[in-house]
C-alpha cells in the first residue's frame, strides 16, 4: 500500500471495514476491551467503525483526529479479533485495517502517539527503538564468557555463515535480559552449531511497521535483507517473535530465500532429532505464555511445548487461556513505548492466571512478554510467589 495515495488507501480500507456485520463477537477476545473502561469504541469493531465513519464523515480534524489516533494506537495488534472474526463472522483482517489506518494517520501527520515519535527518530538514526548508539549494538558480547563465543562469527564484512542468529534490539541493548541471548548461546554451544551475528544488525522494523511508518520499515528491511544475504545465510534464527514475524510475513520474499525459525522451533527440531538431550528435569510448576506474534500470528504453539514438556513433564501446567486463546501481555503494536489506558493491567491479569493454576514460573519466549510479565509480577506484589523466565534460560539450565 506504500505506493498508493491516501485516497486510494482510504477507499480500500472503507471497502474492507464496511464488511463488518457488527456482531461484536470480537469484543469477547480483545485484550483492549478487557483492560480498559469498556467504552463502546474500545474493541475491534469499535475501531473499525471509528475508521469507517472517520473516512465517511471526514472526522479527521482537531479533537476527533486525536481521539481516532488514541483509539487506533491503543490496539495491541495481537490478532485475537481476526481469529474470532474468521471463526464466527466475516473474516475481516481487522488488525491489517487498523495498521493501514495508522499509516494514513501518520502520513497526515495526525499520528503516531507523542511518545512514539522519539522511537521512530531513534529507529531512523540508530537502528533501534531505544536511541542507543548503533555502534554499541554488539557490545553485549563483551559480557559473554569466552568459551561461548567460540562458535560465533561476528559478521562485519565478507564473512559467510549458514546459520544466523538475529539477536534483535531488546536482547542487544537491555542488559536485564542478557541471560536470554546468553542462554541461547549456551545451547548453541552445546549443539556445537556454528552461527553468525551481524555486527551491523538493525531493528527488524516491526515497531516502525506497527506504528505506521511504512517508509522507515522498508529502509530497515532493505538493510537487513542485504546483510543477511551477503553473509550467505541459509537460515536465520530469531530471539524475538516480532523479528520472526517481520521476516516471515512482512519482508518481501525473504522466506523464499532462507529458512526462518524462532529459536523455540530451532531447538525443538534439535530435540526431536536427538541432538539435544535434557539431563536435568525441572520440578517447579511452570506455565507458558504464548507470545501473540509466535502463536496467534504464526501458529507456532507446539514447538515451545515440546521443549517444556521434556524439561518439566507433569509440572508443566497450561493456563486456562492458552494457545490461540492466550491473553496478550499488552506490549505489542507499539504500546510498549507509550502510556495507554489500562484500568486492569494485562500483565497482572496474566500473572494471576498463572498463579491460579499453581505455577511458580511463567515461561515466555518473547522479550516483550518477558518485560511486561516481570513488571506485572512486581506491580501485583507477587515477587515471592512467582517468577518469569525465558524458555531459553530453562532449556540452557537443563542440559
Tell me the three state secondary structure of residue 164: strand
Q: How far is the CB of 205 from other proteins (least distance, A)?
A: 12
Least CB distance from residue 38 to other proteins, whole Å? 4
Nearer to other proteins, 96 or 257 (CB): 96
* Least CB distance to other proteins at residue 316 (A): 23
Q: Are 120 and 208 in contact (CB under 8 A)?
A: yes
Between CA 339 and CA 328 the distance in angstroms is: 16
* C-beta of 99 vs 213, nearer to other proteins: 213
The DSSP output letter for 3 is T
Pick the closer one to other proteins by CB: 55 or 311.
55
Closer residue to other proteins (CB): 71 or 268: 71
d(CA 190, CA 325): 34
CB of 319 to other proteins, least distance (A): 15
Cβ proximity to other proteins, 38 vs 313, nearer residue:
38
d(CA 84, CA 86): 5
Task: For the CB of residue 347, give the shortest distance to other proteins in the complex, in Å.
Answer: 21
CA-wise closest residue to 396 among 186, 229, 234, 243: 186
| Angle between the N-to-C axes of helices 94-107 and 44-56, in degrees from 0 to 180, rounded to the nearest 10 | 40
Query: At closest approach, how far in Å is the CB of 223 from other proteins?
Result: 13
CB of 25 to other proteins, least distance (A): 5
Question: Shortest distance, CB of residue 328 to other proteins, whole angstroms?
Answer: 18
Per DSSP, the three-state class of 346 is: helix
The CB-of-176 to other proteins minimum distance in angstroms stands at 20
The two counts, helices (H) then strands (E), for the chain are 18, 8
Per DSSP, the residues of 27-92 read: GGG-HHHHHS---TTSSHHHHHHHHHHHHHTT--SHHHHHHHHHHHTT-----HHHHHHHHHS---
Q: Residue 257 and residue 28: Cα distance in Å, rounded?
A: 39
Q: Which residue, 120 or 177, is less far from other proteins as judged by CB?
A: 120
Show Cβ contacts of residue 83 under 8 Å, excluding neighbours closer than 6 positions.
Answer: 29, 296, 324
The binding site for other proteins (CB under 8 A) comprises 2, 15-16, 18-19, 21-25, 27-28, 37-42, 45-46, 49-50, 53-54, 56-57, 59, 64, 67-68, 71, 84-91, 106-107, 109-112, 114, 117, 120-121, 124-126, 131, 133, 213-216, 219
**Bond before 112 cis per omega within 30 degrees:** yes
Find the shortest distance in angstroms from Cβ 355 to other proteins: 17
Q: What is the spatial distance between Cα 132 and Cα 330, in angstroms, rounded to a whole number?
A: 24
Q: Which is nearer to other proteins, 45 or 264 (CB)?
A: 45
Question: With respect to other proteins, which residue has the nearer C-beta, 126 or 265?
Answer: 126
CA atoms within 13 A on the CB side of 302: 3
Q: Which is nearer to other proteins, 135 or 145 (CB)?
A: 135
Nearer to other proteins, 24 or 352 (CB): 24
Pairing of strands 235-238, 195-198: unpaired
Amino acid at each position: 500500500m506504500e505506493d498508493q495515495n491516501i485516497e486510494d488507501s482510504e477507499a480500500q480500507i472503507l471497502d474492507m471495514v464496511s464488511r463488518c456485520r457488527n456482531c461484536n463477537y470480537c469484543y469477547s477476545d480483545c485484550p483492549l476491551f478487557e483492560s480498559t473502561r469498556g467504552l463502546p469504541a474500545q474493541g475491534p469493531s469499535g475501531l473499525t467503525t471509528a475508521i469507517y465513519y472517520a473516512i465517511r464523515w471526514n472526522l479527521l480534524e482537531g479533537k476527533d483526529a486525536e481521539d481516532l489516533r488514541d483509539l487506533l494506537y491503543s490496539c495491541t495488534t495481537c490478532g485475537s479479533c481476526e481469529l474470532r472474526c474468521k471463526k464466527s463472522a466475516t473474516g475481516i483482517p481487522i488488525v491489517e485495517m487498523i495498521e493501514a489506518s495508522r499509516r494514513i494517520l501518520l502520513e497526515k501527520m495526525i499520528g503516531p502517539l507523542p511518545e512514539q515519535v522519539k522511537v521512530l527518530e531513534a529507529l531512523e538514526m540508530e537502528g533501534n527503538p531505544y536511541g542507543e548508539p548503533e555502534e554499541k549494538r554488539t557490545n553485549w558480547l563483551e559480557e559473554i564468557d569466552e568459551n561461548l563465543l567460540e562458535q560465533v562469527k561476528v559478521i562485519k564484512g565478507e564473512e559467510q555463515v549458514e546459520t544466523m542468529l538475529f539477536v534483535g534490539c531488546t536482547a542487544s541493548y537491555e542488559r536485564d535480559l542478557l541471560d536470554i541471548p546468553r542462554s541461547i548461546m549456551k545451547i548453541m554451544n552445546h549443539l556445537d552449531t556454528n552461527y553468525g551475528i551481524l555486527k551491523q544488525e538493525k531493528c527488524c522494523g516491526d515497531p516502525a511497521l506497527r506504528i505506521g511508518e511504512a517508509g522507515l520499515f522498508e529502509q530497515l528491511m532493505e538493510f537487513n535483507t542485504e546483510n543477511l544475504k551477503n553473509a550467505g545465510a541459509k537460515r536465520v534464527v530469531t530471539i524475538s517473535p516480532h523479528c520472526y514475524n517481520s521476516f516471515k510475513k512482512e519482508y518481501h520474499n525473504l522466506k523464499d530465500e532462507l529458512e526462518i525459525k524462532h529459536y523455540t522451533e530451532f531447538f525443538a527440531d534439535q530435540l526431536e532429532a536427538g541432538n539435544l538431550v535434557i539431563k536435568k528435569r525441572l520440578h517447579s510448576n511452570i506455565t507458558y505464555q504464548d507470545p501473540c506474534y509466535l502463536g496467534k500470528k504464526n501458529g507456532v504453539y507446539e514447538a515451545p511445548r515440546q521443549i517444556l514438556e521434556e524439561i518439566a513433564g507433569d509440572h508443566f501446567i497450561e493456563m486456562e487461556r492458552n494457545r490461540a486463546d492466550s491473553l496478550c501481555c499488552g506490549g505489542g503494536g507499539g504500546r510498549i513505548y507509550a502510556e495507554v489506558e489500562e484500568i486492569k493491567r494485562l500483565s497482572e491479569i496474566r500473572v494471576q492466571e498463572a498463579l491460579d493454576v499453581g505455577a511458580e514460573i511463567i515461561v515466555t519466549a518473547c522479550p516483550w512478554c518477558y518485560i511486561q510479565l516481570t513488571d506485572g509480577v512486581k506491580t501485583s506484589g507477587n515477587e515471592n510467589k512467582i517468577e518469569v523466565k525465558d524458555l531459553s534460560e530453562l532449556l540452557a539450565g537443563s542440559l
